[in-house]
């Protein structure tokens, strides 16, 4: 692979918006194991939130995808491969990035949304408790006291 070709491929995978219009790969080999990546991502994305029991599985998948992405990028950086193989690696990296984006968008948002809901519910319970304890009736003056 020529140096300019290597730089082209690296620029392509690091470009902002590189994943626009890119599909998540059906299957990908990660750490020597074939993974049904698209099916896994869609299975997780179908749910509104990731159940507590599935969170570790999703986090492990994200770690594995990041590790695989790094290994493939390093193979391109070394430049000791044919350009065609570099293109295949770059395509796979962009697909991995697309899958990571899908999993990342689900994880933090759903955990954050769940935390906000819990915080709002806690605040409401606390305010209800204070109103009762202080004898207030719907933010009005104290009942039965002068």
Instruction: Name the residue ranges covered by the structural domains of the chain.
Output: 3-108
52 to 49, 55, 59, 99: CA distances (angstroms): 9, 5, 11, 21
Number of H helices and number of E strands within the chain?
4, 2
Alpha helical stretches, state H, 19-51: 37-45
User: What does the pLDDT look like over 86-103, one tens digit per residue?
Assistant: 999 999 999 999 988 888
Q: Is the pLDDT of residue 67 over 90?
A: yes
What is the pLDDT confidence band of residue 71, given thresholds at 50, 70 and 90? very high
In this predicted model, what pLDDT tens digit does every residue of 111-131 receive, in sequence order? 566 667 778 878 888 888 888
Q: What's the start-to-end Cα distance of the chain, in Å?
A: 88
| pLDDT of res. 108 | 47
Residue 111 is predicted with a pLDDT of 53
Q: Give the torsion sign (CA, 86, 29, 56, 108).
A: positive
What is the reported pTM?
Answer: 0.66
| Structure tokens given for 130 | 């204070």
At 57, the pLDDT band (50, 70, 90 cuts) reads: confident
Tokens of residue 33, six digits: 């194991």
Confidence class for position 138, pLDDT limits 50, 70, 90: low
């Amino acid at each position: 692979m020529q140096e300019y070709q290597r730089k082209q491929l690296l620029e392509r995978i690091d470009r902002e918006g590189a994943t626009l219009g890119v599909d998540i790969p059906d299957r990908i080999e990660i750490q020597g194991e074939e993974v049904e990546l698209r099916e896994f991502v869609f299975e997780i994305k179908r749910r509104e939130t990731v159940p507590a029991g599935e969170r570790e599985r999703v986090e492990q998948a994200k770690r594995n995808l990041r590790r695989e992405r790094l290994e493939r990028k390093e193979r391109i950086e070394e430049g000791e491969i044919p350009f065609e193989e570099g293109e295949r690696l770059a395509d796979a990296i962009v697909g991995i990035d697309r899958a990571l984006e899908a999993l990342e968008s689900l994880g933090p948002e759903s955990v954050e949304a769940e935390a906000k809901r819990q915080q709002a519910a806690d605040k409401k319970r606390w305010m209800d408790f204070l109103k009762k304890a202080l004898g207030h009736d719907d933010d009005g003056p104290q009942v039965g006291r002068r």
